[in-house]
Structure 1
Amino acid sequence: MRPAVLAALPLALLSVPAVQAQEADRFTLRLGALNADAETTLSASTTYQDQPYRFSETFDFGSEEWVPRVDGVFRMGDRHRLVFDYFNYDKKRRETLGEDISFDATTIPAGSYAEAELDFQLATLVYDFAVVENDSFSLGLQIGAEWAKATASLVAEAGDDRWTDSASEDGYAPVVGVRFTARPGDRWLLNLQGQYLDADWGDFDDYDGSITRANAIAEYRFTPNFGLFAGYEWYRLDVKREVSGDGLGNGIVGWDQRFKGPVVGVTLAF
Structure 2
Amino acid sequence: MIKSSRALPVRGLIPLALIAIATVAGPAHSQEQQDDRFTLRLGAMNVSAQGELNGATRYLDQDFRFSEDFDFGGDELVPRIDGVFRISPRNRLVFDYFQYDKDRRATLGSDLSYDDITIPAGSFAKGEVKFHLASLMYDYAVVDTPSFDVGLQVGAQWAKLEGEVYAEAGEDSFSARSSDDGYAPVVGLRLTATPSEKWLFNLQGQYLDTDWGDFGDYEGSVTRANALAEYRFNETFGVFVGYDWFKLDVEKSGRDGLLGLDQRFKGPIAGVTLAF
Task: Give the Cα separation in 2 of the matches to 1:186 and 1:24.
Answer: 10
**What is the distance in 2 between the residues matched to 1:79 and 1:21?**
11
1:45 corresponds in structure 2 to: 56
Find the partner of 2:46 among 15, 35, 45.
35
| Conservation of the 8 A alpha-carbon contact between 1:20 and 1:187 | no
The one of 226, 230, 233 aligned to 1:222: 233
Q: Cα offset for 1:105?
A: 1.7
C-alpha distance in 1 between matches for 2:33 and 2:261: 42
Deviation at 1:99, TM superposition (A): 1.3
Superposed CA RMSD in Å reads 1.5
Return the offset for 1:111: 1.1
Which deviates more from structure 2 when the two are superposed, residues 38-47 or residues 201-210?
38-47
1:51 shift after superposition:
3.0
Q: Does 1:179 align with 2:190?
A: yes
Instruction: Look up the SS of the partner of 1:200 in the other structure.
Output: helix
Return the match for 1:255 from 251, 258, 261.
261
The structure 2 residue matched to 1:206, chosen from 212, 217, 220, is 217
1:87 to 98, 120, 124: 98
Q: Is this contact kept in 2: 1:28–1:74, CA < 8 A?
A: yes
Distance in 2 between the 1:56 and 1:71 partners? 35
The Cα of 1:49 is off from its aligned counterpart by 4.5
CA distance in 2, matches of 1:257, 1:125: 22
The total of aligned residue pairs comes to: 248
Give unpaired runs (5+ residues) of structure 2: 1-26
Query: Displacement, 1:185?
Result: 2.5
Of the two, which has the highest radius of gyration?
2
Structure 2 counterpart of 1:111, from 90, 115, 122: 122
**Alignment deviations for residues 75-130 of structure 1 (CA, whole Å, 9 cap, x no partner):** 00010000000000010011111111112122111111110100110000000000
Superposition map of 1:1-270 within 5 A: 24-245=35-256, 251-270=257-276
* SS of the residue 1:146 aligns to: strand
Rounded to whole Å, the distance in 1 between the matches of 2:58 and 2:109 is: 39
Q: Distance in 1 between matches of 2:77 and 2:34?
A: 30
- In the TM superposition, what whole-angstrom CA distance separates every residue of 1:9-36 from its partner, at most 9, and x where no partner exists? xxxxxxx9xx956861000000000100
User: 1:118-168 deviations in whole A, cap 9, x for unaligned?
Assistant: 011000000000000011110000000000111101000111111000100
Q: Report if aligned partners of 2:127, 2:164 keep a CA contact under 8 Å in 1.
A: yes
1:261 partner amino acid: G
For residues 162 and 266 of structure 1, the distance between their equivalents in structure 2, rounded to whole angstroms, comes to: 45
Q: TM-score, normalised by structure 1?
A: 0.89
User: How many percent of aligned residue pairs carry the same amino acid?
Assistant: 61
* TM-score where L is the length of structure 2: 0.87
Letter in 1 for 2:122: G
Deviations 1:196-246 (A, max 9, x none): 00000001011110000000000000111101000000001100111112x
Deviation of 1:256 after TM superposition, in Å, equals: 1.0
Runs of at least 4 residues off by over 6 Å:
none
Of residues 41-50 and 128-137 in structure 1, the stretch that sits farther from structure 2 once superposed is: 41-50
Looking at structure 2, the residues matched to 45 and 25 of structure 1 have their Cα atoms a distance apart, in angstroms, of: 51
Whole-Å Cα distance in 1 between the matches of residues 164 and 137 of structure 2? 31
